Amino acid sequence: MNRQLLLDVLPAPAPTLQNYIAGANGQALAAVRALAPGRALYLWGAAGCGRSHLLKGLASTPDAIYVDVQQDARTLRSLADADSAAAMPPVVAVDDVHNMDETRQAGLFALYNRWRECAATNRAFALAVAGDRAPISMPLREDLRTRLGWDLVFRLDPLSDADKLAALSAQATERGLQLAPEVIQWMLTHRERDIRKLAALLDALDRYSLATGRHITVALLRAMLADPNHKHHDAPTTRAL
């Protein structure tokens, strides 16, 4: 098997509610798990706090929909303007509202109105939205900004180092990796501490280990980062050793 084929195996685990490491965000996770048709939820926090993970995990249920700003700007409006007699998805998860342009903001505004109209009917659906700051500080049109706080609102806190260690260890276990604690500790010490980038780095290390036929060690990790033929664009710049 050539190097490229080796690098294409074992994709990173998809975000689920089961593999989300809550840390101090246990109440938010419980609210996401319990989100029922007719309820809305807004999650906010800095990059790397797990907003997208929770929304994608919630939207992994059958017929649920996940929408972000990479998708067609008309997606939200088409959901809001669907035939009033048509069944809505049980869950609509809308990510990164802080990056929405005017068209997407208008679509989300209409979707909130549709959610409220349906909330007490047999067409009720759950609406989960996420952004990088509290509703009052969100750079959105005023009528949409107020709707973000219509129901449940939770701030997500970044993971502690202990939580990140647990998260990376869990990812390694899920992938069947035998990973020495010093490898994860090196990652936490010498890399940026965004859990998404750390998880992507672990994924790349797994692939590099397969490609080179070497066990995962700190030496292999450092060799991967120094390899000019290895491209890992998600990994941040190494800190000075």
Name residues whose C-beta falls within 8 Å of residue 185's C-beta, 6 or more positions apart in sequence. 165
Residues 43 and 143 in one domain: yes
The reply to whether 18 falls in a domain is no
Helix, coil or strand: residue 228: coil
- pLDDT tens figures, 149-179: 999 999 999 888 888 888 888 888 877 887 8
Residues 185 and 145 in one domain: no
Is residue 147 scored above 90 in pLDDT? yes
Give the confidence band of 236 by pLDDT, cuts at 50, 70, 90. Answer: very low
Residues 103 and 190 in one domain: no
Please tell me the number of Cα atoms within 13 Å of 92 on its side-chain side.
23
The reply to whether 8 falls in a domain is no
The reply to whether 20 falls in a domain is no
Q: Enumerate long-range contacts of 29-36, CB under 8 Å, 24 or more apart.
A: 29/54, 31/152, 31/154, 32/57, 32/58, 32/128, 35/91, 35/126, 35/128, 35/152, 36/126
Residues 51 and 71 in one domain: yes
Residues 35 and 132 in one domain: yes
Instruction: Give the pLDDT confidence score for residue 204 in this predicted structure.
Output: 86
40-44 and 91-94: which strand pairing? unpaired
Among the candidates 111, 135, 155, a domain finishes at: 155
- pLDDT tens figures, 14-62: 889 988 888 899 999 999 999 999 999 999 999 888 899 999 999 998 8
Residues 143 and 206 in one domain: no
- pLDDT tens figures, 177-192: 878 888 988 888 876 6
Residues 122 and 183 in one domain: no
pTM of the model: 0.76
- pLDDT tens figures, 72-116: 989 999 999 987 767 789 999 999 999 999 999 999 999 999 999
CB 54 within 8 A of CB 84: no
Instruction: Give the pLDDT confidence score for residue 192 in this predicted structure.
Output: 63
Residues 64 and 99 in one domain: yes
State the CATH number of the domain containing residue 77. Answer: 3.40.50.300
State the CATH number of the domain containing residue 192. Answer: 1.10.8
* Triad 36, 128, 156: Cα angle to 5°: 110
Please tell me the number of Cα atoms within 13 Å of 84 on its side-chain side.
8
Residues 101 and 177 in one domain: no
The reply to whether 105 falls in a domain is yes
The reply to whether 54 falls in a domain is yes
Residues 74 and 146 in one domain: yes
Q: Enumerate long-range contacts of 82-90, CB under 8 Å, 24 or more apart.
A: 84/123, 87/123, 88/114, 88/118, 88/123, 88/124, 88/125, 89/63, 89/64, 89/65, 89/125, 90/37, 90/61, 90/62, 90/63, 90/64, 90/125, 90/126
Residues 74 and 38 in one domain: yes
Structure tokens at 28: 């938010």
Q: Tell me the residue range of the domain where 188 lies.
A: 159-226
Instruction: Give the pLDDT confidence score for residue 6 in this predicted structure.
Output: 37
Give the confidence band of 193 by pLDDT, cuts at 50, 70, 90. Answer: low
Outline where 64-176 has alpha helix (H).
Answer: 75-80, 102-118, 142-147, 161-174
The reply to whether 11 falls in a domain is no
Number of independent structural domains in the chain: 2
Among the candidates 140, 155, 170, a domain finishes at: 155
Among the candidates 155, 180, 214, a domain finishes at: 155
